[in-house]
Each structure stands twice: as C-alpha cells, then as structure tokens.
Structure 1
Amino acid sequence: MLDGLLENNTILQIQEHTTDTHGYTEIIFALCYLLGYAFMPRIRDLKDQQLYRANRTAEYGIFTPLLTKTVDVDIIEEQWDAMVQLAQSLKERTVAAHVVVQRLTNSFPLDRLAKAVTNLGRLIKTEYILRYITEPPVRRKVHVQLNKGEYRHKLPRWVFFANQGEFTTGDYEEIMNKASALSLVSNAILYWNTRHISRILEQLHQNGETIDPEVLKHISLLPYKHVLPNGTYFIDEGSSEGYG
C-alpha cells in the first residue's frame, strides 16, 4: 500500500489516504504520520478495537473507559530520530516500503525501533478512531473517498480481463511490471475520456448552454463500458480468419 503511495508521480499534494480494513495496521498508521499523510481507513468492528491512552493517570472525560491500555511514550521519544530517518529513507526511495513494513512487523516486539513505531501507530490510531466515531464529516469523507477509489479500481479490473483483475504471481517485480502496464492502459483510457468529455462541454458552451460548476464536480472521467478489453473481431464471410 505504501509503495504505491510513495511511487505516485502525481503533481497533486496528497494529504490523506483512505483504505478499507484489509489495508490497516498500526505500523501503517505510524509510517503515514511520519511521512506527512493522514491515514484514514474504514476499520471493521470498531467496538473490538483496542484504544490507548498517552498517560496512565490522566482523565480523558467520556473517553476514559474506552482507553484501557497505555502506549509507551518513552520509547517513542527514545527512537524519534531513528523513526524520522526511516521516514526520510522511504521518501527518498532508498528502501522499499513493503520491506520496511515486513521487517518492522516481524521484529516486533524485540526490536526497539519496531516497538517505537508500533506504539506511535497505536497513539495515532486511537486519535483517528475517536474522531471517526464522533465526527460525521470524517466518516462521510472516508466513505466518499473509498467509493471513488472502488470505482477507479473497476476500470483496471475491466481491462485486466485475462486474469479477471487478479495477479496470479507472488513475484514482486513481476507484479509491479504488470501493474505499471495496467496503469499505462488505464491512464490512456482516462486521457481519452477527458479529451472527449472536454470536447462535449466545449460544444455545449458554444451552443450557449451553461454548465453549473457544481454539476461538473460529479462528472466522472472513469466510464469504461465503451472499452472492449478483448478487442473487436471482424470475420470475413468467405474466410475463417479473424482480425483483432
């Protein structure tokens, strides 16, 4: 998940990242925070989530009964410089994010850096969950972004018809090669849609019609049903040969 986020070459300044439950871990919460992203997953079974307090003796009002465990703030402070250096290495892409996540996960709780990252993630996760359950705008934002993301994923699944939208290999480099090719094709379709929708809007403008900017916000550039992923075949009645 972090690899794709860090390798995104968009000119936009990404500030928030949403994902479903399967993409959530406390380590990801911490790494996103260190990288300057607000990690906003939709977590299943919130009532079963362990929430943490920063101070064992402090009172947190109505939330006090929910905060049943305490994070180790001391180790976060001790390893802070090391965590910042780790985040810088990720930003500079001198180390792959999936390798970092795997090592941190496998070395917890014996490794002190892994322990610090996990404790930081617990603190960030707790703050996020409390906002999620008390602030309806936060929940709406997460759901809207996930719905947009799911619609975006439908396009490459449509194009990637031979494997029914699933990678059948466990080799990381092969997966990345296929994902890059899939992104290229998907972006070409997106570009084609953008050009043609822009031309339609320009024609409407020339005809004297005005499009409300609020309406434009809801026009998706991701329709794909006009794309034939497996090609078009023309059969000559006098021949058994087909052409794609």
Structure 2
Amino acid sequence: MPYGVWEAVYIIEGLLKNASEVQPATIHADTQGQSYPVFALAHLLGIDLMPRIRNWKDCLFFRPSRSAVYEHIDALFGEAGRNVIDWGLIETHFKDLMRITVSVRGHDLLDAAAQAAALRLPQERHLHGVPGGLGRVIRTVQLLRYLSDAPLRGRVTAATNKVEAFNGFSDWVRFGQRGTVAHNDPVEQEKDVKFTSLLANLVIFHNTLDIADVVRQLQAEGWEIDPLDLAEISPYLTEHINRFGVYSTHEIGITPEDYNTRLDVDFSTLEDERAPAA
C-alpha cells in the first residue's frame, strides 16, 4: 500500500477482483477501512460498508437541512444550523459520481491508488468535495444504524474480532525474527507477507479438516451436533502444532488421501439466528 492511502480502497479493490462463487455485499473493517469518499463509493457500488470506527462518538453527524432539529439526539449533530448536507452540489454532479463508479466497476480504475486519486479528484475542481458530501450522508446513516441496532453492533464487533484473531494467528505462524519484516526491498516485503498468509491459510485448512474428522467421529458415536456449538469453534488452533517441525524424509513421496468435504450438519439455523429483525 502506498503511504497515505487508507486501506478501505484496497478492501473494495479486493471485492471487485474476487472471482469466486462467494460474492459478499458487506464490508467490515476498522477505522482505516472507511472515509467519506469510500463510504460514497461503496454505496454506489452496492456494497454495505459497516466498519468498527474508533472513537465514533467524536464523528460528525450531518443534518439533512438547516432547519432539522431532533428531540433526543440533536446534540449529536453539533450546533443548530451547522454540519448540513449540500444536496444541490451532490445532485448537480451525481452523473460525474456515477461515471467514476462505473469506471471502478469496469476495472478502468481498479488500481487502489488510482481509485484514491479519483475519489480525491484533485484535477477536477468542480467536483471538489462531492464524493465526501455523499459519503457524509451514508456515514451519518450508518452511525445512526449503529447506535440504534444492538444486534448490528454485535455483528460488526464479531466480524472485526475475527480479523484481529487472524492477525494474531498469522503473527504466531510467522515467529521467525519476532514477526518483523526485515527486508527493505518492497518485492521481498511482499513475498514475506504473501508467504505468511499462504502458510496461515494452510494451517487453517489443516485445522478445519481435523475438526470435521472429529465431528464425523462424534456423529458416528451417536452424538447430535448443534450447528450453533460448531459455529463457535475457531480454526485458529495452535496448541497441537510444532512450529519447528518433525521431519521424516520417507513421507515425501506419499500421496495424501483425498479430503472429505461432506459434513452432515444443517447450518440453515444459523441464518435464522443472524437474520436482522424486521
């Protein structure tokens, strides 16, 4: 990531490059995963940006008009008549915003640095502040949702905690040099990060297969597996792994058996549990 570019545009870039069958429509991130322009771009791309924002109580809430006054939450919006959305500016240049969005969606601006430059729009003075203006609208709505919806806060916290857990797991995997990337060469730095991610994912895959084997064994013994209990099990297990390895050269030529992807557990109940209330 170039210095000065927030990680949010890279998250969006990753979603747009995603060619798998899983097509997520929601992004969770920490504070640097959001900004006014990124909220605007995510909304126009049909992505629900739901970050965990540090010190959200210090964030500005924007009024839809100067005359808007709220009985119980007006203090969130600052002084009366302040922090007002300029709807006319957004409406005037909405086509330009859509042009940028279509370019990003069509991968014309897929590079994250190019996205960031387009969102700042330094070369188009007549669009100065427009993406941020729309982003103020979207972020204000998201902050109000976050305040009023306790289950939503729980989902955001749980999702971002999973990311932090993965980061801790990756640090455990990359125990050499205390997890420090010692190279000054950007190419070698990228290799270090990517190889760490590859190794972490391999260990996660290994743990997942072991968990599935144990579940099948318990089912064979007559145990009923509750999907809610199974959903609480993390694949970031380390206690059974010897990081320094046990080496046996005669096993190099042994072809492993095909892994079994079938797990006879009905996870549909999880969707019912997590579905937001109407």
Among 156, 175, 180, which residue is 1:142 paired with?
156
Amino acid aligned to 1:193 = N
| Deviation at residue 152 of structure 1 after TM alignment | 1.7
Q: In structure 1, the residue corresponding to 2:135 is in which secondary structure? A: helix
| Deviation at residue 101 of structure 1 after TM alignment | 1.8
- The answer as to 2:217 corresponding to 1:203 is yes
- The worse-fitting range, judged by mean Cα deviation, of 90-99 and 43-52 is 90-99
| Deviation at residue 117 of structure 1 after TM alignment | 0.6
- Equivalents in 2 of 1:93, 1:170: separation in Å? 31
Amino acid aligned to 1:6 = E
- Equivalents in 2 of 1:47, 1:71: separation in Å? 19
- Equivalents in 2 of 1:138, 1:74: separation in Å? 32
Per-residue CA distance 1:127-185 (angstroms, 9 max, x = gap):
11112122212211111111111112222222233354455678776655444333322
- 8 Å Cα contact 1:90-1:97 kept in structure 2: no
Amino acid aligned to 1:21 = T
Among 136, 146, 171, which residue is 1:157 paired with?
171
- The answer as to 2:40 corresponding to 1:30 is yes
- 8 Å Cα contact 1:75-1:115 kept in structure 2: no
Q: In structure 1, the residue corresponding to 2:129 is in which secondary structure? A: helix
Length-normalised TM-score, structure 1: 0.80
The match for 1:49 is 59
The match for 1:190 is 204
Among 114, 130, 153, which residue is 1:99 paired with?
114
Q: In structure 2, the residue corresponding to 1:86 is in which secondary structure? A: helix
The match for 1:3 is 10
- Equivalents in 1 of 2:35, 2:58: separation in Å? 14
Amino acid aligned to 1:186 = A
> For this pair of structures, how many residues does the alignment match?
233
| Deviation at residue 32 of structure 1 after TM alignment | 1.6
- Equivalents in 1 of 2:76, 2:213: separation in Å? 55
* Structure 1: gaps of 5 or more residues: 235-244
| CA RMSD in angstroms, aligned pairs only | 3.0
Per-residue CA distance 1:29-74 (angstroms, 9 max, x = gap):
1122122221122223333221112222344443444333112222
Amino acid aligned to 1:56 = R
- Equivalents in 2 of 1:92, 1:199: separation in Å? 43
| Deviation at residue 199 of structure 1 after TM alignment | 1.2
Length-normalised TM-score, structure 2: 0.71
* Distance change (3 Å), C-alpha of 1:233 and 1:204: closer
* Distance change (3 Å), C-alpha of 1:138 and 1:170: farther
* Distance change (3 Å), C-alpha of 1:27 and 1:176: farther
- Equivalents in 2 of 1:169, 1:123: separation in Å? 43
- 8 Å Cα contact 1:161-1:230 kept in structure 2: no
* Distance change (3 Å), C-alpha of 1:105 and 1:165: farther
* Distance change (3 Å), C-alpha of 1:62 and 1:88: same
Task: State percent identity of aligned pairs.
Answer: 29
- Equivalents in 2 of 1:169, 1:40: separation in Å? 34
Q: In structure 1, the residue corresponding to 2:202 is in which secondary structure? A: helix
